[in-house]
Structure 1
Amino acid sequence: MVVVWSDEAKADLKKAYKYIALTSLQNATIVLNTLIDCTFELSANPEKYTFDKFKKNNDGTWRAFEKYKYRISYRVMGDEIIIVRIRHTKMSPLKF
């Protein structure tokens, strides 16, 4: 399976990196690399994480996980895994 990042998810990751880098460039790099690695590991096992509890009418293709207090939402579509969104867990979930 191929992992594809949405433009929104890329922007979210960039914002997180910039925010963490304000206090520690080293930590920002660690978080960035770890989150990217976690998403690319999904290609081997896309159903590794639970269904996204914030997705209304989830048909089973929407999943999510948390790492370093960031929540990564993704969708399994055919032979693609689409990284949809990344947000800090203290943020209110968006309705989607």
Structure 2
Amino acid sequence: MVVVWSNSAKAELRRAYEYITFDSLQNAQLVRDTLIDLTIDLAEHPEKYALDKFKKDNDGTWRAFEKYHYRVSYRILKDQIRIVRMRHTSKSPLTY
């Protein structure tokens, strides 16, 4: 299975990296690399994380995890893991 990031999730990861860089380049790289590594691992273990509690009528394919105060939501599809969105946990979640 392949992991694919949506454009909006990639943009949010880039914004987070740039924001953290103002304080520490090393921390920015750590957060970025860890989040990417966790999503790469989803190819082998797609159901590793809990169901996404913010997804209405979740059919079991929508899941999410949090790391470093960032929430990553993804969907398990037939041939790919789709990283749908990423947001800082201080932001209000989208209901979808």
Decide: shared fold, TM above 0.5: yes
Question: What is the TM-score normalised by the length of structure 1?
Answer: 0.98
1:90 maps onto 2:82 in alignment: no
Alignment length, in residue pairs?
96
Matches of 1:41 and 1:77, distance apart in 2: 15
Equivalent in the alignment of 2:19: 19
1:25 deviation in Å? 0.7
| Residue in structure 1 matched with residue 54 of structure 2 by the alignment | 54
Q: What is the one-letter code of the residue matched to 1:31?
A: V
Gaps of 5+ in 2: none
**TM (normalized to structure 2)?**
0.98
**Corresponding position of 1:35:** 35
2:75 paired residue number: 75
Q: Offset at 1:79? A: 1.5
Secondary structure in 2 matching 1:30? helix
Q: Which amino acid aligns with 1:82?
A: R
The CA RMSD over aligned residues, in Å, is: 0.6
Gaps of 5+ in 1: none
Deviating 4+ runs (over 4 angstroms): none
